[in-house]
Structures are given as structure tokens and as C-alpha cells.
Structure 1
Amino acid sequence: MKWHQAEMGVVFHYDLHVFDGLVYGQGDNRINPVEDYNIFNPEHLDTDQWIRSAKAGGAKFAVITATHETGFGLWQSDVNPYCLKAVKWRDGKGDIVRDFVNSCRKYGVMPGIYVGIRWNSLLGIHNFKVEGSGEFAHNRQQWYKRFCENMVTELCTRYGELFMIWFDGGASDPNGLGPDVEPIVSKYQPNCLFYHNANRADLRWGGSESGTVGYPCWSSFPYPFSHSNATEDKNEHTRLLVHGDPNGKYWVPAMADSPLRGYNGRHEWFWEPGDDDRAVYPLDDLMDMYEKSVGRNATLMIGLTPNPDGVLPEGDVKRLQEWGNEINRRFGTPLAKVSGEKKSLTIKLPEKQLVNYYMIQEDVTFGERIRDYRIEAKVDGKWQTICKGSSVGHKRIESFKPVETDAIRLVVNECLDTPVVINFSVYYSEG
């Protein structure tokens, strides 16, 4: 329920290579260790600015890359010596994870932590696997598992209650190359979302990094973990990630993710030099993304990129504020709304007026009961169908050609049980 109700969140990517003056190359970054870790020097670090900006855009939660592909840790680790203790910045006493969590709590945003263990260029870890063979490699593989488990224990026990622990690329299979991290998270963070390993995923990737999901998008899924080998058909697996399964046995709702800097052919999870004025998505693109993620029963995660000074660039901050304002302008105040537990709900407007959006929300504590519906408008005394749909879930938003009417109704054609609609509302927006 926390995942659904949040609707929007952000993930901040920060690592050593932000400071090298080069365009980020993931393949090279996974292979080549950073020569001088003392390039890490965010002189004007301001995590308050990060979180204020995220909240202005509509984010209810925020996640930080405590460690990524370099293996460098953004906290005072007693387990991983390759961390902020090793640098000259703040005399080796900085703790960006601590600053980040404190800022989240200050501004009422739920904090989460991202742990990248699939790759570690310093230690030569590739897709969880250590280099070498024989007893040497076996012993080092077991050591790396314990190393990861101990880092996760630190992160789960030092920063209070967390919204999410996100293992980038998964945490693999604890019976194979991966560490056994799920019991650690369950023990120390019992209310925390876990994403993901070979046994458990509390949410699923929506199949692309476009910030959108397909429609319909069901929260139910056939397996308790999203990156499963249960089907060898890759096309079928992708279809399930995008759309879910209305008859699935498990509740694994969708995540839609995208970097804010994804325009003009860019796709930047980390800050890159020279792109401050051309990589940020225009507002219209972001609103389209919102309607095709939050408006399709997914939770949207946007990647934000602090720069070498330790702040979000001014243009990114401005666009987030514009986005939050536009979401509120478009959907903050409905023309009218109703709720109820029945198959048909009618909105009566005080007079004829233009309408071009509707929103439906089910109480998903009862599951996704609605399976097929239509939206009708009363025009010249007759009901006309203007939209049809299937999946609703936590939130369904759809635009349609403006219609002048004084009554709109939701008619549920198929349902598993009596629909529990907590919000059926209509809007008009010229945007």
C-alpha cells in the first residue's frame, strides 16, 4: 500500500565518476577502477536542496545509491574501506547517506537505499562473479557474499526505518553467486520494500526505462519475484513485466522508471558534463509520462543527477517545480467526484461544461476487482460511451476528446466482486 500510495518517487545517482569530467560509460565503468578516489569533492553538498526539489516535483519517497558499480560507499562503512572514510573531503568524516536520510525526514519524504553489488570495478566483480578459478575464486566468492551481507546489515541498522532497499540488477540467488540479503532486510527493516533477488520482489520493473507502462497494467503477477526463469519465452516474460497478469497469484505491482535527463537522445542516470541545457525532458513529455505510469496503476521513479558541486543543476530544479505545479493544476481539483461500492457511479455537474479527463481509484486492499468498464457522458439527453477500459487498480487516469455534459457515469461491465471505488472524478484541462 505504501508503494501504491506514494505514486511518485526519485532515485539519486551519485558516484566517483561524476567528478572525472567524462561522459559516463557503463561498460567501461564496470571494468576500470577510478584511479584517484580523491576526485570526490562535492564542496557545496546540499541534500536538503535535493529533497526539496524532489518533493516539489511530487515525490513521496527518495532513494540514494549508497554504492554503485565502482564499489565506492557513500557512508561511513566499517565493512567497506573503499568509502567516504578514505577521501580527503570533510577529512574523511562525511556520510552522504546520513545527510540524505536526515533531509528526507526533515521534508517528510520516505528514504530508501540502493545497493549495487552486481558489479564492483575495484574488486573485479562481474555479474556477481569474482575473477579467477579453483579454490582461490571459491574462497573469494564466499568472502564477497559475506562482505555484501555485512554492508547491507550496516545500511539496515544505522538510518532508521527505510521505505525501500533496492538491489540494482538484483541480489542474485543466495544458493548461487549472490549473498543472502533478504533475511537481513526482513529482520532489521520488516516494513521495508525489497527489490529484489531470485526469491522475492515486492514490485516489478515495468519493462522499459521510458517512465511509462503499457495498458492494461495489472498489479497481480504469476510469480513472487519479477525476474523469474519460470518462462523461457522472453517475449512472454516482457509482456508480463509490462502488463502483469489479471489472474496472477502474487501482488507484484509495477514500477515505471526514467531519468529526468532523457531528452534529445540522452539517457542520463548520472550527471554528465555539457548537458545541463539540453537533456532535461520538456514539461509536456513529463506529463505524458505521468499519465502513462501513475495513470496506469504504476508507481513512477525519476532519476535525478547531483553534479560535482553536490547540488541538482538549476534547470533540473526548475523543471521539477514546473512538473509538480502542472500535476496539481491538472488533477488537484476535480470538477466533481463520487465514490461507492457498486457497479455504476454517476457524477452530476451543476451545469453543462467541458470535460476531458476522468480518474478512477479502487481500494486495492480488496484487490483489483474491476475487469472491464466504460465511461459514458450524457449528451443531448442520451448516454454516449466516450471511453472503455479494463485495469483500474490504485489509479486510472485517461484523457478523451472534450465533451460538453452535465453528467458522466462509470459503468462496470465485469468484476470479480462488488467494486470498491474510492474515487471517480472528472476534470477539464487545456494543457
Structure 2
Amino acid sequence: MRKALFIFLLLGSTRLLAQQDIKPYGALPSAAQLKWQQLEYYMFIHFGPNTFTDKEWGHGDEDPKVFNPTQLDARQWARTAKAAGMKGIIITAKHHDGFCLWPSAYSKHTVRESAWKNGKGDVLKELSEACKEAGLLFGVYLSPWDRNHPAYGTPEYNQVFANQLKEVHTNYGDVFEQWFDGANGEGPNGKKQVYDWDLFHKTVRDIHPNVIFFSDAGPGCRWIGNENGFAGETNWSTLNREEFHPGMPGIQDILNRGQEDGTHWVPGEADVSIRPGWFYSPSTDDKVKTLPWLLDIYYKSVGRNANLLLNVPVDRRGLIHKNDSLRLMELRKVLDESFKTNLAIRARTTVTNTRKNSMLSSAVHLTDNNPNTYWATNDGELQGTITLSFERPVTFNRLQIQEYIALGQRVKSFRVSVREGNTYREVANETTIGYKRILRLPTITTAAVKIELLDAKACPVISEVKLFKAPELLADPGISRNKEGQVSITAASPDPVFHYTTNGSEPTLRSPKYTGTPFAFPGTGVVKAKAFVNNGKQSSATVTAEFDLAPVNWKLLQVSSQENRGEGEKAIDGDLRTGWISKDGGYPHEIQVDMGGVTTINGFTYTPHPSRGIVYNYAFYVSTDGKNWGRPVAQGSFANIQNNPVKQRVKLPKSVQAQYFRLVAVAPGSAQEKRAAAAEIGVF
């Protein structure tokens, strides 16, 4: 017993000396940030009045009694997250509508005023207890934008919001992450608020000093710059934090890749929803992201030095829908199978430029499955080579490599090669590593893998190298339609057989078979397709495409006077790869379309252009003669479109008959934007 204790103390002291021997480089993570990074994957839950009103951003004028989940079970949420392999749950305790999921003493728009449990319920209490029982961490999103509170837009409101933060952080146990976004719109009095971020941060830190703050500027972790869940291929965990603030426009690209010589450690968090929107909608029950799509998100977030925050919206019953749950379990199964067997532990590991006089800086630590040990080069040696050699060839398609980030992020570029005969063939050439980098490679069989660290900010310190053989999945089919209403189905998988339906039912082997020739589907509706191989023994996920009326005979009637007509026609050509971008000149911009005949219109769609010109405020008009337009049949704003630029649907209160329609882009998604744009404008 004494001998074992002596050896333990000796190793501990030796390790401490080795760490002191390697000087930290640049901005460093705090102890709380190191623990946060190890979480990797956790759940976001958007839930509130928007769940029942089918909105993304409520206006704060909804009757609180609309919130009435009749079967709410927070333990079901926690069980689902746990079974999915997630480490925690962050919930929208208060969204922009101002509705509080707890009975706040500082608002009259809360669960206390709702029909749920006759006003006696408390969602935060139920979820925090469920998380504790399940061994999950508990986090909260509170929006400082409040479209309901009468004090919003006045100096008094900042203290109101601070008081709400204090309620949440005092009454519901430990909170691992406080989620802020930069949304800052008008309140019920038409005014905007100047947020006191220092007050908000201090209020939370006084209660939970180790909490991780999320926002565009951190300080604990940063937005990854998009809501697709994709971190940059180059992703530094450092940022010049003082240059940024929540809601700051035009910084998405910087946030996506970080800053190489950033002054502060602000790692990326990739937030994305499992559905097209953040809140539950019955219309998206068949639009849950497919397994290959979710895997792509995982590898482009966790696999690119970021944490993944996957939103799973609770439905109107107060439960996670079975479609979402089943997809999460499919993802967990494939990830478990993918990373079950580390082939690198069978390798003989050799390295170059190993650090001298450092007992713990050894090649053996690269494959010991311990992220707290490492191999490092000598000071001043910014390159090094790691070679994994095998007695018998191994077959793999995933490579995982990690830096020991407690001493800083260092590696700028690296290359991976495999031995073929007497030479090596390059299979990957990448930039940053950080906490974890996972490369998806074609399936390779080889007896040796070489990882060359090509450049670094300081001597590289690598903690782990792993190889895995992940199962190969059947790729999802792709469904597309041209302007003439002809539908095509394609997939990247070899020799699939496609079956499809046009009536909303699930495709089976008995459904119509796609022969390779496009089929006509010019009307509004849904096409579903599924790929089958091995006589139906293996199949892809079902892919759903919801189509508007095909623009078969549509013509551009008019576009803003200074515009090129050919440019405007790209918004009605049925091709999402093209689009209309107006000229500079300031808002409003407009586009008018002749549909070639009288049509019954139930609503409109707007698909934003992928690069610029996103429209926020809109107005749609209709006409029977193309001259007399009357008042708008629909007007409003596309909520959250700037951060989540997906296809928007505007349903009319009642159907209208018209041959012509007109979209007026009233205001942009960004104050700096002078142009309007659209990939497609449609009618259903």
C-alpha cells in the first residue's frame, strides 16, 4: 500500500515537472472551459408559446393560456438525452416573446398565467430535477429581448432582467451554461434596449462563478457563426474577445474559424436544430434531419474542435416526438459502432523530435487512451512526425487526433499519409487540430500511417491519436424539380433502387420505382423517396421534398426599375443554385410575377439567397390584371432568418384568386444591407 502510494506521488510530481517544463502558449482555457469541452454533445430544447402558435419568434402579445402541454414529462426529455449519449440539456427558459417557463415575480407573462396545471407549474423545476436524476447537466437560455415586458426599452429593464437571471440561477441548482444571443428588437413600446452585459454577467457569476457564458463574444464559448452546426475546417479556440459583442453583425466568418492569435480562449459551440425550425411544428414531423445529415453535422462540429448543441423541440403534448427520438437513437448507435474499436492501440508508435529530458513526453502516450498524457517535441521544433506501424495491415476510415489544450492550441497544419508498398500516399492535408479533430477518410487498408505536423505556433503537444473503422451507410436520395415541374431522384450510393410516393405515404418496395427518367409533378405537394439495395434488405432514410406550384408558365412582369430583368427571372426559375440579387440603392425593393393564368393561392414561399440580400420585413400583394394591387394579402417579418436562412412559408388567412403576385422587400435582415435577394419565390 505504501509502495503504491509512493509511486503515485512520484508520478504525480514528475508529471507536474514535465508540465512546468513545457511553457504554455497563448490564450489558455480555464478549468471550467476544459470540463465544458469534454462534454462535446448536449441537447437544446426550444419550448414555449411558439410551440402552440407555430411561430419561431413570438410577438409577446399571445395569450399565455395558449401554453398548455397536457402530458409534459421532463423525465422523458432527460431519458431521451441520456440514451442519445448527450451530457446535458439547455432550455429556452425565456425567449424573445418574454414568456417565462418559471413563475417569475418580475413578469406577468409566465407559466403562472398559463392554462398548464392551472398556473401552478414550473418547467424549470421539473427539468432541473429530471436532469439531476439522470446525471445530466442543466443549462438555461434567457433572452434579454422581451417583446412583452412594459419596462423594455427603459433604464429600469436591465435590472428587471438581472432579477430574472438571479431567480433562475438561485432556485434551480447548478447551471453549467448560460446561453445568450444578441437579438435586440423593439419591445411593446416600440423602443429597443441598451443591454447592460456587465450587470448580467456579474449577476450570474455571483451565484455560479464557473458557469460558461455563450454568446457571439463568449466569454465562455462562442457562436460558430451559422445555425447549420458546421465549424470551420480551420477552427481556432481563441478570439480577440474585446473586439466583439453579442448581436454584432458581419462577424460570422470570424466566429466560424476563430482567430489564430486571439487574446482569449473562446472555443466554438455549434448550435443546430434537428428540424428546419427551432420550435416544434406539426408540419415538420416528416422533416427531421436524416441520419447521414446528422452524422455530417457531428463530424463538422465535434470533429472540428467544437461542441455540438443539438436542438430537439418538445411538442405540444410536452414530449419529445417519436420521430426525433428514433433519429437520435440511430445516431447514437452509429457513433457507438464507429468509435467502438481503436485500431491504433495495436500499432508500434514511433516519433521524431521527441522532447528531451521529459519522462512523461513519450510516444507511448499517443495511444494510451488518456487525454491527460501527451507527446511533445523540443522547444523550437515546430514540426514532427508520428508513425503508426502494424504487424498486419489494418482497415480504417476515421482518424482522430487531439492536442493537449491545457497548454494552448498550437498546430497550424498537418498531413496524413498511408504506406503503399515502399512509398507513402497522402490521404489528407488539414489545418488546425485543437481539442479534437476527426477526419473522415475513404476506407483504407495499410500497414503504416504517418501523421506529419507541418507547422505550429509552438512545440506541438499531442495527447491522442486513434484509428477507427466506421460502418458505411447508404446515402440519402436527393429530390429535385426543374421549372417545368419534372422531378428527378439521385443518390451518391452505388446501384441504389429508388421508390417514391406523391401522396405523402411512406415509400416501400411496392411504391412506384424511379426508372431514371424524370416524372411530372407540377402542382403543390410532397414527394417522398427512399433508396433500397440488396433486394430491400438495406434502405436509406425517407427523404421528403415539399414543392410549391411549379413556375411552368411564369414570367417576370416587373422588377425594381433599376434592375436587369434576366437577373430577376432567376428568382422564379425553379433552381436554388441561382438567384436574384438587386442592385444597391436601399430598401424597399420589389419583384412582380405573371403566373400565366388565374391560380388559387393559399400562401407564398421565400427562399433566401445563400450569400446576401436576406429580406426580413416583407409584404405580398396579388392582382388579377397586374395593375391594381390593393392592400397586402400578407405582411410581416421572417423571424430569425438572418441566422437560419431556410425556406420561409407565409400562409394566407384565406385563399385568394389571382394571376399576378408581387413581393415587396420592406426591410433587410441586416442594417448594413442595401440589396434584396432571393434564391426562389414561390406560391402554394
Q: TM-score, normalised by structure 1?
A: 0.86
SS of equivalent residue, structure 1 residue 152:
helix
Q: Which amino acid aligns with 2:292?
A: D
| Equivalent in 312, 317, 322 of residue 330 of structure 2 | 322
3-state secondary structure, aligned to 1:48: helix
Question: Which of 2, 21, 39 lines up with 2:66 in the alignment?
Answer: 39
Asked if residue 306 in structure 1 is aligned to residue 321 in structure 2, the reply is no
Query: What per-residue deviation string (whole Å, max 9, x for no partner) do you get for residues 273-320 of structure 1?
Result: 2321x2100000000111111111011111111111110111111111
| In structure 2, C-alpha distance between the alignment counterparts of 1:414 and 1:271, rounded to whole Å | 46
Paired residue total: 397
| 1:183 corresponds to 2:202 | yes
> Is 1:24 the counterpart of 2:58 in the alignment?
no
After the TM superposition, which of the residue ranges 238-247 and 316-325 deviates more from structure 2?
238-247
| 1:391 positional shift | 0.3
Q: Deviations over 1:177-231 (max 9, x none)?
A: 1142111111111010112487x5221111111111221111111224644799x
Once the two structures are superposed, the pairs formed by residues 339-378 of structure 1 within 5 Å of their partners are: 339=367, 340-342=374-376, 343-378=384-419
Which residue number in structure 2 is paired with residue 424 of structure 1? 465
Change beyond 3 A, Cα 1:330–1:249: same
The 1-side partners of 2:138 and 2:36 are apart by: 13
Residue number in structure 2 paired with 1:203? 221
Structure 1 residues 158 and 170, CA gap change in structure 2 (3 angstroms): farther
One-letter amino acid of the counterpart of residue 279, structure 2: F
Report how far residue 92 of structure 1 moved.
2.1
Query: Distance in 1 between the 2:55 and 2:337 partners?
Result: 36
Amino acid corresponding to residue 122 of structure 1 in structure 2: N
Task: Give the structure with the higher percent helix.
Answer: 1
Conserved in 1, the CA contact under 8 Å of 2:302 and 2:437?
A: yes
Which residue of structure 2 aligns with residue 7 of structure 1? Answer: 40
1:51 paired residue number:
78
Q: Give 1:123's aligned amino acid.
A: H
Would the alpha carbon gap of residues 192 and 228 (structure 1) be closer, same or farther in structure 2, given more than 3 Å must change? closer
CA distance in 2: counterparts of 1:387 and 1:145, whole angstroms:
50
Q: Sort the Cα spacing of 1:223 and 1:271 in 2 relative to 1 into closer, same or farther, 3 A.
A: same
Change in CA separation of 1:318 and 1:386 when aligned onto 2, cut-off 3 Å: same
Q: 2: CA distance between counterparts of 1:302 and 1:97?
A: 19
- Once the two structures are superposed, the pairs formed by residues 64-75 of structure 1 within 5 Å of their partners are 64-75=91-102
1:29-86 CA distance string (max 9 Å, x none): 23x510x322222121111111221222232121011111221111132222322222
Paired residue for 2:177, among 145, 152, 164?
164
Query: After TM superposition, where is structure 1 displaced by more than 4 Å over at least 4 residues in a row?
Result: none
Change (3 A) 1:6 1:280: same
Asked whether the 8 Å contact 1:213–1:293 carries over to 2, the reply is yes
What is the CA–CA distance in structure 2 between the aligned matches of 1:191 and 1:225, rounded to whole Å?
23
Structure with higher Rg: it is 2
User: Is 1:221 aligned with 2:239?
Assistant: yes
Check the 8 A contact 1:226/1:252 in 2, yes or no: no
CA distance in 1, matches of 2:224, 2:215: 14
1:337-358 CA-partner distances (Å, limit 9, x unpaired): 4344133322233411322210
- Give the SS at the match of 1:270: coil
Does the aligned pair in 2 maintain the 1:377–1:385 contact within 8 Å? yes
Q: Which residue is 1:134 aligned to?
A: none
2:271 matched to 1:257? yes
Instruction: Work out whether residues 379 and 404 of structure 1, in 8 Å CA contact, stay in contact via their aligned partners in 2.
Output: no
Q: Identify the structure with bigger relative contact order (alpha carbons < 8 Å, sequence gap 6+).
A: 1
Mapping of residues 58-207 of structure 1, within 5 Å: 58-118=85-145, 120-123=146-149, 130=153, 141-169=154-182, 177-179=194-196, 180-196=199-215, 201-207=219-225
Shift of 1:6: 1.1
Q: Which amino acid aligns with 2:95?
A: H
Contact 2:397/2:470 (<8 A) preserved: yes
- SS across alignment from 1:181: helix
Aligned AA for 1:74?
L
Deviations 1:127-183 (A, max 9, x none): xx63xxxxxxxxxx12211110110111111112111111232689xxx71142111
- From the superposition, tell whether residues 95 and 25 of structure 1 become closer, same or farther in structure 2 (CA, over 3 Å): closer
Q: 1:272 and 2:285 equivalent?
A: no
Task: Write the deviation string for residues 356-388 of structure 1: whole angstroms up to 9, x where unpaired.
Answer: 210001111111121221112122132332211
Structure 2 distance, partners of 1:45, 1:73, is 16
Asked if structure 2 preserves the Cα contact closer than 8 Å seen for 1:171 and 1:181, the reply is: no
Residue 279 of structure 2 aligns to a residue whose secondary structure is coil
Partner residue in 2 for 1:412 = 453
* Larger strand share, 1 or 2: 2
Please state whether the residue corresponding to 2:241 is helix, strand or coil.
coil
Whole-angstrom CA distance in 1 between matches of 2:50 and 2:454: 54
Query: Partner amino acid for 1:291?
Result: Y
- Contact map agreement 1:205 1:226 (CA 8 A) in 2: no
For 1:228 and 1:181, the matched residues in 2 are separated by: 13
